[in-house]
Structure 1
Amino acid sequence: MYEKMDIGEICNREVVFATEDMSVKEAAELMRDKHVGSLVVIREADLGRIVTGMVTDRDIAIVAVARDFDPQSLRVGDIMSGQVITARADASLNDVLHLMRQGGVRRVPVTTENGVLIGIATLDDLLEVLAEEMQGFVQAITSAQRRETRERG
């Protein structure tokens, strides 16, 4: 019933991203248009998109809006979290949950060994997978109960 799943298999491969030179206003509009609460900040390189940070709707609210900065002139690089917790594609679900707990984050970019962005794993994604696993346990219990009823009356 249980099979090891790598985070690369369950992460969302359609990542909404920003660059450090993007204005905070553009980032907020992108979040609104794509219905996301965070953007992975990247730098284009020969290898692909290298993760350099994360910016959340909370970053925009706390840093830009609450401090009355001009969101058109303020750049994503000015407010992003530069120390990003990432996971390699071959990391287990357990490993990523541990990273999220340790780092106090709900979203983890998934990268290659060279730091190239390939997806994003969110707590919502992981909860969905765990819920499916739990449903498998419930079905096993129900099946065992039915079998016992059939065999023993």
Structure 2
Amino acid sequence: MAISECCNIGVVCCEEGTSIPEIAHLMRKHHVGDVVVVRHEEDKRIPIGIITDRDIVVETIAEQVDMNLVTAGDIMSTPLITVHENESFAESLRLMRHHKIRRLPIVDERGILYGIVSAGDIAHLLAAELSMLTTTITEQPLAERQVRR
């Protein structure tokens, strides 16, 4: 399965100059824990970094920094690890494990932001797949009994 089949395409984004309070507001408004920092080329969004709610806490609040003086460019995680939209689910998971990240932006062949997948998205998908497998395993003997009466 291509990772693009299970990602979120409604990615919340900001630019490098966006202030931390603005980013926190975006997170709250959209109920997300991350914002992808992008550079605009024409009308295309090129991802260059990512900021998580944890980044905000560790880099500003814990250090007692005036958040109005800090921008996305100051605390974003970069270089950004991304995966191509046609890459496999397994390869995407391998990248996340290798780089110890829980969120993985997805790009198309031109490097334009396509979507994002999180560890939570993957866990949810795997739980659904396991549930279907469990149903198949438990229902198979019943189906066989009906056929072999």
Identify the TM-score tier after normalising by the shorter chain. Answer: over 0.9
- The yes-or-no answer on 1:20 pairing with 2:11 is no
Task: Give CA deviations for 1:73-127 in whole Å, capped at 9, x if unaligned.
Answer: 1111001101211111101111111111111111100101221101111112112
Report the Cα distance in structure 2 between the residues aligned to 1:98 and 1:143, rounded to whole angstroms: 33
**Partner residue in 2 for 1:55:** 51
**Partner residue in 2 for 1:66:** 62
Q: Helix, strand or coil for the counterpart of 1:99? A: helix
**Partner residue in 1 for 2:74:** 78
Which of 13, 32, 39 aligns to 2:35? It is: 39
The percent identity for this pair of structures is 39
**Partner residue in 2 for 1:104:** 100
Q: Helix, strand or coil for the counterpart of 1:118? A: strand
**Partner residue in 2 for 1:130:** 126
Q: Helix, strand or coil for the counterpart of 2:94? A: helix
Task: Give CA deviations for 1:102-153 in whole Å, capped at 9, x if unaligned.
Answer: 1111110010122110111111211222122212211221232113433566
Where do 5+ consecutive residues of structure 2 fail to align? none
Which of 116, 119, 141 aligns to 2:137? It is: 141
On the 8 A contact 1:47/1:116 being kept in 2, the answer is no
TM-score normalized by the length of structure 2: 0.92
- The yes-or-no answer on 1:7 pairing with 2:9 is no
Task: Give aligned pairs, total.
Answer: 149
Q: Which amino acid aligns with 1:30?
A: L
TM-score normalized by the length of structure 1: 0.90
**Partner residue in 2 for 1:29:** 25
Report the Cα distance in structure 2 between the residues aligned to 1:47 and 1:87, rounded to whole angstroms: 21
Report the Cα distance in structure 2 between the residues aligned to 1:129 and 1:27, rounded to whole angstroms: 28
Where do 5+ consecutive residues of structure 1 fail to align? none
Which of 99, 114, 129 aligns to 2:110? It is: 114
